Amino acid sequence: MSDNEHADELTGAQALVRSLERVGADVVFGIPGGAILPAYDPLFDSDNVRHILVRHEQGAGHAAEGYAMATGRVGVCMATSGPGATNLVTPIADAHMDSVPIVAITGQVGSAAIGTDAFQEADIRGITMPITKHSYLITKPADIASAIASAFHIAGTGRPGPVLVDITKDALQAKTRFEWPRQLDLPGYRPVTRPHGKQVREAGRLIAESRRPVLYVGGGVVKARAWSELKDLAELTGIPVVTTLMARGVFPDSHPQNMGMPGMHGTVAAVGALQRSDLLIALGTRFDDRVTGQLSTFAPLAKIIHADIDPAEISKYRVADVPIVGDCKEVISQLISLLKRERRPMIDEWVRYLQDLKRRYPTGYDEPADRTLSPQYVIKRIGEITGPDAYYAAGVGQHQMWAAHFLPWELPGRWLNSGGLGTMGYCVPAAMGAKVGRPDKMVWGIDGDGCFQMTNQELATCALEGIPIKIGVINNQSLGMVRQWQTLFYQGRYSNTDLNTHRIPDFCKLAEAMGGVGLRAESPADVDAVIEKANSINDVPVVVDFVVHKDAMVWPMVAAGTSNDEIKVARDMAPAWDQEEL
């Protein structure tokens, strides 16, 4: 910091932009408006911070998430007060549920007007209090620099998450001296990253004694960037691995120890592994209800080692026999050093049992009898042609689950999806943010025709800002996942799930109207050519309308609220567990 910087008189808005430069924020996704307008003026002059003008603030928030997921850095979004800020609520909630580090900066009405129902006033701090990791309402220009420094630190450390910085218009306009904090004033915020040695030793003892252990791996391992440690631990011990929806790719699917994804739409091998385990080594995962199914019957014989950086997650649903608070990279490294000295668990019989289960119940699908296009085939081909090094985003619904199963999950950190909140509309803006963060990589969005209609306006942003993403719309002409539940649980009464998307809108024309290229595939013979064509376009966004048949269902499935033991591999078809016993 230069000495002059202390002496400089600048506006709060200039202090904000200078602070963003200081924390190394290189991209802000946002839309201006009255209260935040003072900040947009100095932003115009910044050489270091690129502002990307989105078409809806929800897009700004998900783009910040996509950027954060693809780069491991903190994503930034910006909006004005009132409706601008409330449009950020969904992505903030999304980031909170999936532990994504973002900083949301909002303008607020003048400090004297707060609480008066002033034009475009919304108590965004109050509204987002339960869905942020932390938040600030800044009314004095002198507080802006320290709030931004703290916000980035809080968002990106410990369990990552969204931080809101709401700044009043008068604080942005008034003059101040720029004082970058020498140290952050965050009493009580000291995330524990180094695990307690005694707990790790206790975990090591349980692992050595176990006969049916499973590494139950969640998104925390991705956030901790602990994939090489995970591979070492898995290979050292031979313990089978399951990777949750948020953790797909953190351990290669092609690895013989990978049993796949557990949960409501998990593989039989992964669900069976958890249910029959005698020891779950839960790493950076939170026993989500979509994984456990009916909690009282979840993994009934298993002891639990639960490692998480957030102590609030431990024993939240299932009491941990060995709780470990710490960063997964540290925890796994310490477990490795310990287990190198211990005897290996005797698990040959268990491994044989699970390998057999995996062989007999592979994730597959039936091609439609009428030779129309199957959604699973489309997704599989996108992955096979594009390869595992691309980034893949998804919307929410059937296509998300097929993407989780059928894309080539060989590399970590390549998967962006809305796991906790299940936010339709996540895909297009998240893919946009990922491409901004990783311009060198191919980015595909696998979207549903319902989800796509929620946020596709960001294609215009992509076209104008040079962000050439590819979106494959898995067009089954319906809100497919809801329709699947209606098929299974509402006697096929399809109340309000038919989107008629075969006709309206025309996704190819829509893509062209947005400044992109629109392609269509309606039969298996078209598929490879359109994917290859999409992959060859590198200047504008591409939308491929894959018109697929509407009756495909996601299998396996554990019906909501039932036990994982009730998993069905197809309608009315369950594994014969009594013949499957060890």
Ligand X SMILES: Cc1ncc(C[n+]2csc(CCOP(=O)(O)OP(=O)(O)O)c2C)c(N)n1
Residue 207 interacts with ligand X (CB under 6 A): yes or no: no
Using CB under 6 A as the binding rule, the residues of this chain from 455 to 494 that contact ligand X are 474, 476, 478-482
Q: Shortest distance, CB of residue 499 to ligand X, whole angstroms?
A: 7
- Is 57 a residue of the active site? yes
**Residue 183: DSSP 8-state:** S
* Nearer Cβ to ligand X (482/559): 482
Residue 396 interacts with ligand X (CB under 6 A): yes or no: yes
Residue 405 interacts with ligand X (CB under 6 A): yes or no: no
Q: Shortest distance, CB of residue 451 to ligand X, whole angstroms?
A: 4
- Is 97 a residue of the active site? no
Strands annotated E in 151-235: 162-168, 175-177, 213-217
- Is 169 a residue of the active site? yes
Residue 448 interacts with ligand X (CB under 6 A): yes or no: yes
CA pair distance 241, 59, nearest whole angstrom: 35
Which of 110, 218, 116, 102 is CA-nearest to residue 160?
102
Applying CB under 6 A, among 399, 435, 438, 470 the residue interacting with ligand X is 399
CA pair distance 440, 348, nearest whole angstrom: 43
Residue 564 interacts with ligand X (CB under 6 A): yes or no: no
CA distances from 137 to 77, 107, 170, 238, 274 (A): 16, 10, 12, 51, 44
Applying CB under 6 A, among 121, 143, 449, 458 the residue interacting with ligand X is 449
* Nearer Cβ to ligand X (485/577): 485
**Residue 201: DSSP 8-state:** H
Size of the site for ligand X (CB under 6 A): 19
Select the span of 184-192, 267-275, 443-451, 570-578 touching ligand X (CB under 6 A): 443-451
- What are the tokens at 371? 């030779």
Place of tokens 């707060």: 114
- Is 119 a residue of the active site? yes
50-53, strands of its sheet edge to edge? 50-53, 27-30, 75-79, 102-108, 162-168, 134-138
Q: Shortest distance, CB of residue 510 to ligand X, whole angstroms?
A: 15
Residue 408 interacts with ligand X (CB under 6 A): yes or no: no
Applying CB under 6 A, among 72, 413, 422, 515 the residue interacting with ligand X is 422
- Is 229 a residue of the active site? no
Is 567:363 a contact under the CB 8 Å cutoff? no
Is 220:327 a contact under the CB 8 Å cutoff? no
- What are the tokens at 11? 């506006």
**Residue 251: DSSP 8-state:** S
Applying CB under 6 A, among 274, 325, 424, 467 the residue interacting with ligand X is 424
* Nearer Cβ to ligand X (451/511): 451
Residue 423 interacts with ligand X (CB under 6 A): yes or no: yes
CA pair distance 301, 317, nearest whole angstrom: 16
Active site positions, annotated: 57, 119-120, 169, 481
Which residues would be at the binding site for ligand X (CB under 6 A)?
395-399, 422-424, 448-451, 474, 476, 478-482
